[in-house]
């Protein structure tokens, strides 16, 4: 076999979220399955973060493009809804990347998102928890807008779901 599943996963680090160019789909937890078949064909399974996410077609072709660059010619990308994506699937590295990008990472939760975790968000600029939710509807489906009382900055959070 010319390549392994680990190599494929490593190469897929190059595929970034189209809205958050510092975050790879891998770290976002969107790549939920990789298999290398005997004939060298690669199957990639993706679980979209939000149903009807308009970026999914873009991400699919990006996955194929990156793998083609590494010599993987036959790639099948399957969008799967078998498991539901949730924001706990974002890796630690992904959380740090979000923070560096100026987006508050979603807090880990027990799959029940209560309003208070939307309200007490740590400011990515100064680390203060003295913040307020301005609107749960940010510029994209996955972001909410917050205000920090300490550094007076407005920031966005990648919403916990
Ligand atoms: Zn602040």
Alpha helix (H) residue ranges in the chain? 5-11, 25-28, 56-69, 92-100, 115-119
Q: What is the pLDDT of residue 65?
A: 96
Mean pLDDT of 145-156: 95
Alpha carbon 8 to chain centroid, angstroms:
18
Å from CA of 156 to ligand 1 middle: 11
Mean pLDDT of 20-47: 93
pLDDT at 114 over 70: no
Tell me the pTM.
0.82
Å from CA of 154 to ligand 1 middle: 8
Alpha helix (H) residue ranges in 12-155? 25-28, 56-69, 92-100, 115-119
Å from CA of 92 to ligand 1 middle: 21
Residue with the two structure tokens 């928890």: 129
Topology of domain 5-79, per CATH?
GMP Synthetase; Chain A, domain 3 (3.30.300)
Å from CA of 89 to ligand 1 middle: 26
Q: What is the pLDDT of residue 53?
A: 59
Å from CA of 158 to ligand 1 middle: 16
Domain boundaries, the chain: 5-79, 98-158
């Amino acid at each position: 076999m010319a390549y392994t599943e680990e190599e494929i996963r490593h190469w897929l680090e190059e595929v970034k979220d189209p809205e958050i160019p510092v975050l790879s789909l891998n770290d976002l937890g969107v790549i939920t399955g990789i298999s290398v078949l005997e004939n060298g064909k690669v199957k990639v399974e993706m679980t979209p973060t939000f149903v009807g996410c308009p970026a999914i077609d873009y991400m699919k072709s990006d996955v194929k493009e990156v793998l083609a660059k590494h010599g993987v010619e036959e790639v099948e990308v399957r969008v799967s809804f078998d498991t539901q994506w949730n924001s706990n699937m974002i890796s630690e590295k992904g959380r740090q990347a979000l923070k560096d990008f100026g987006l508050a990472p979603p807090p880990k939760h027990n799959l029940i998102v209560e309003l208070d975790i939307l309200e007490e968000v740590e400011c990515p600029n100064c680390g203060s928890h003295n913040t307020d939710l301005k609107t749960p509807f940010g510029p994209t489906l996955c972001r909410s807008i917050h205000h920090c009382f300490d550094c007076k900055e407005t920031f966005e959070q990648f919403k916990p779901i």
